[in-house]
């Protein structure tokens, strides 16, 4: 369950790891399997202690504003899918960011939550100015009688798997790499809104989305093969999407349009999850509707071919 820190019931038998775990990528999943296995062997509660909002939203970074791979609810759903018992959410504020690593472990993990075993990444740092690491955790573990275990680095094709690497791949439109690292396609969850209905006149009616998830990463503008998860329906629907400003028609505000293959139904006001499978091409400006339709027909062939094995 998602438990705010203020509502946590102290339990001495918790196996804990700490982090944002944005996207819950395959590296996170592999680490969590170790945690869950260890917790099950000791009849402990496997627990992720995480933060909301993301720390970089509060204290900033030389890397610039953060864009997220997953909402809090999406993170929780993936954590439950891998078998984690509990997610404890700490409201991240500037005052909380000033806690030292010792204060964080002693006051939050040991005294408020309860800790039998602490799992940390091989390079994980925590506390004010990120001064805490494995040696301090071991020292405090000896003092407060909890075990400290270390997660190893996970690589894929000799490359590091991290939320930062995945964000870059999304910005580059490399959805094949993104899917490999996340363990599933990247998703934007939006509600269908009223569009200008121009797609109907072209033979390609679309679902229009206003991109309201401002904190989530947006893939590079272009045309994509997608799978659409429609609220209330069990089967994913194949389709293609245009993410961008629609330069052919002089638009300037980014939006997402999805054409579903072989689907009939009025979905205005319906929540959908759009899974980005593969980028097909850049967004382009065309001389007129005829040239656009000719390209859309080519896009459909390419998207259908891509989704045959999706």
Residue pLDDT, tens place only, 13-71? 999 999 999 999 998 998 899 999 999 999 999 999 999 998 888 887 666 678 999 99
pLDDT at res. 150? 84
CATH 2.40.30.30 residue spans of the chain: 185-307
pLDDT in tens, 61-108: 666 678 999 999 999 999 999 999 999 999 999 999 888 899 999 999
**Share above pLDDT 70 across residues of the chain, in percent, rounded to a whole number:** 88
What strands lie across the sheet with 14-18, from one edge to the other?
2-4, 86-91, 45-52, 14-18, 117-121, 147-151
Domain with residues 2-160, CATH architecture: 3-Layer(aba) Sandwich (3.40)
In contact, 136 and 102? CB cutoff 8 Å: yes
Q: How many CB atoms are located within 10 Å of the residue 148 CB?
A: 18
pLDDT in tens, 172-189: 999 999 999 999 999 999
pLDDT in tens, 231-250: 888 899 999 999 997 665 55
Query: What tokens were used for 266?
Result: 């009025």
pLDDT at res. 97? 87
CATH 3.40.50.620 residue spans of the chain: 2-160
Closest CA to 282 of 240, 241, 221: 221
- Does the pTM exceed 0.85? yes
Indicate the pLDDT class of residue 282, thresholds 50, 70 and 90: very high
pLDDT at res. 250? 53
Query: What tokens were used for 189?
Result: 């969850």
Domain with residues 185-307, CATH architecture: Beta Barrel (2.40)
Name every residue whose Cβ is closer than 8 Å to that of residue 35 and which is 6 or more positions away in sequence. 15, 17, 46, 84, 119
Closest CA to 24 of 66, 97, 87: 87
């Amino acid at each position: 369950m998602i438990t705010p820190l203020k509502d946590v019931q102290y339990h001495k038998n918790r196996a804990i790891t700490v982090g944002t775990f944005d996207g819950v990528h395959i590296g996170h999943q592999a680490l969590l399997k170790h945690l869950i296995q260890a917790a099950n062997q000791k009849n402990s509660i496997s627990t992720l202690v995480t933060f909301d909002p993301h720390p970089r939203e509060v204290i900033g970074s030389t890397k610039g504003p953060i864009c997220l791979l997953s909402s809090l609810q999406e993170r929780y759903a993936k954590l439950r899918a891998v078998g984690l018992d509990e997610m404890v959410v700490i409201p991240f504020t500037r005052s909380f960011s000033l806690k030292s690593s010792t204060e964080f472990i002693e006051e939050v993990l040991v005294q408020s939550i309860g800790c039998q075993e602490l799992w940390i990444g091989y390079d994980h740092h925590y506390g004010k100015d990120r001064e805490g690491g494995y040696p301090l955790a071991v020292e405090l573990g000896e003092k407060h009688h909890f075990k400290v275990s270390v997660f190893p680095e996970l690589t894929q094709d000799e490359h590091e798997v991290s939320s930062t690497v995945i964000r870059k791949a999304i910005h580059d439109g490399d959805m094949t790499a993104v899917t490999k690292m996340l363990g599933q396609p990247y998703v934007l969850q939006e509600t269908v809104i009223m569009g200008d209905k121009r797609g109907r006149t072209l033979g390609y009616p679309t679902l229009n989305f206003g991109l309201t998830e401002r904190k989530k990463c947006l893939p590079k503008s272009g045309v994509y093969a997608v799978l659409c998860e429609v609220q209330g329906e069990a089967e994913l629907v194949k389709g293609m999407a245009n993410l961008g400003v629609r330069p052919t028609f002089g638009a300037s505000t980014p939006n997402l349009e999805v054409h579903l293959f072989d689907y009939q139904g009025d979905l205005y006001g319906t929540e959908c999850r759009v899974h980005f499978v593969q980028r097909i091409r850049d967004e382009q400006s065309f001389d007129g509707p005829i040239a656009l339709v000719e390209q859309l027909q080519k896009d459909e062939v390419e998207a259908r071919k891509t989704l045959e094995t999706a």
